[in-house]
Amino acid sequence: MTFRAVRADKTDAGQTVGFVDMDDAELMDGDVTIRVTHSTVNYKDGLTLSGKSAVIRRFPMVLGIDLAGVVETSRRPDFAPGDEVILNGHGLSETHFGGYAEKARVNGDWLIKLPAGLTRAEAMAIGTAGYTAMLALMAIERQGLTPSSGPALVTGAAGGVGSTAISLLADKGWKVIASTGRASESEYLKGLGAAEIIERATLSAPGKPLGKEQWAAAVDSVGSTTLANVLAQTRYGGAVAACGLAGGMDLPTTVAPFILRGVTLVGIDSVHCPTPRRLEAWRRLAAELDRAKLAAMTETIPFDAVFDAGARILKGETRGRLVVTIP
């Protein structure tokens, strides 16, 4: 039997990306085969769907960095047919076939059983973006920071990471400052828990090595000059979790925030995060994330709409999370 997938191929003329029919013999090696029911559209997915991305490391490649589904066959004692599972990271859509397919075969070490209390659709509404936001919160907490330390800033606030981070931080009692370039999203961000909205432009222009101390913690998905300004305005002893590069990979900063204010810059890796920390993040998401807020930040689209969604996310025309239903 064949199944449908979104695949990137490479020729001398460049990359081509489109829907194709595949069969089981074309699946990659793995000890668990999954019937995929849901995936997501993240910023990285938008890049790969464009057909111009350097993210993909081998061709052909089935795209989609997240998946949720039901185990069809397993050669492992810890997974059985019928088990509901989720998978994000571990090279999906880069080195291993991803979630934009009706079927996937993967290494069972990468899988997590669907956490109690979550549906597959909700797990993908969280997806890599929400999971990254929780890793960022956990990193901030490991620095000993609490809501009493001061406000928390979230950049790229209307995006998937930003939306989830606002909800998680606000529900923990943090005063959340949301940075966005879309004033029209102010009410949406306040509904998630943001207490204050600041214009993205105040952080995106080159600034001073040190600025006025504004926030004790920050979750940044933008990078580049924005991250430099976030660091420069972080309070003494504060921490910034860096988890994205929507604004660029460079970091035009100085050592001043680190040696004069003791600021900590923590990198967040969602792809190869160790299993114990990954499990803790998903356990906490299932227990702590407000379902009503999750629903408010989620748009559900059919499989055929992934290309349009990928283009929209690259243009900054989406907000929150995009869940893909896969027939």
pTM value surpassing 0.85: yes
The model's pLDDT over 101-126, given as tens digits with 9 standing for 90+, comes to 999 999 999 999 999 999 999 999 99
The model's pLDDT over 199-212, given as tens digits with 9 standing for 90+, comes to 999 999 999 999 99
Say if residues 177 and 195 touch (Cβ distance below 8 Å).
yes
Find tokens 């085969």 and name the residue.
33
- What is the distance between the alpha carbons of residues 67 and 235, in angstroms, rounded to a whole number? 38
Strands (E), the chain: 2-11, 14-23, 32-40, 61-62, 66-74, 84-88, 103-106, 112-113, 152-154, 176-180, 194-199, 215-220, 234-242, 264-267, 298-302, 321-325
Question: How confident is the model over 21-43, as a mean pLDDT?
Answer: 97
pLDDT at 54: 85
Percent of the chain predicted with pLDDT > 70: 100
Structural domains in the chain? 2-114+297-325 (3.90.180.10), 128-267 (3.40.50.720)
Question: How confident is the model over 49-69, as a mean pLDDT?
Answer: 95
State whether residue 4 is helix, strand or coil.
strand
- 248: region left, alpha or beta (phi > 0 left; psi from -120 to 50 alpha): left
- What is the distance between the alpha carbons of residues 188 and 165, in angstroms, rounded to a whole number? 14
Task: Please state the separation of Cα 46 from the chain's center in Å.
Answer: 12
The pLDDT mean for the chain works out to 97
- pLDDT above 90: residue 176: yes
- pLDDT above 90: residue 13: no
Residues pairing with 150 in the sheet: none
The model's pLDDT over 307-325, given as tens digits with 9 standing for 90+, comes to 999 999 999 899 999 999 9
Say if residues 35 and 102 touch (Cβ distance below 8 Å).
yes
The model's pLDDT over 65-75, given as tens digits with 9 standing for 90+, comes to 999 999 999 99
- DSSP alpha helices (H): ranges in the chain? 43-49, 120-142, 160-171, 186-192, 201-204, 224-232, 256-260, 275-288, 291-296, 306-314
- pLDDT above 90: residue 327: no
The model's pLDDT over 229-277, given as tens digits with 9 standing for 90+, comes to 999 999 999 999 999 999 999 999 999 999 999 999 999 999 999 999 9
- What is the distance between the alpha carbons of residues 222 and 251, in angstroms, rounded to a whole number? 10
Confidence class for position 1, pLDDT limits 50, 70, 90: confident
- pLDDT above 90: residue 53: no
CA separation (Å) from 193 to 157, 240, 296, 298, 321? Answer: 11, 19, 12, 16, 16
Q: Which residues contact 168 (CB under 8 A, 6 or more apart)?
A: 133, 134, 137, 288, 289
pLDDT at 232: 98
Q: What DSSP state is assigned to residue 92?
A: B
Question: How confident is the model over 136-152, as a mean pLDDT?
Answer: 98
- What is the distance between the alpha carbons of residues 304 and 69, in angstroms, rounded to a whole number? 18
Question: How confident is the model over 164-179, as a mean pLDDT?
Answer: 98
- What is the distance between the alpha carbons of residues 28 and 90, in angstroms, rounded to a whole number? 14
pLDDT at 178: 98
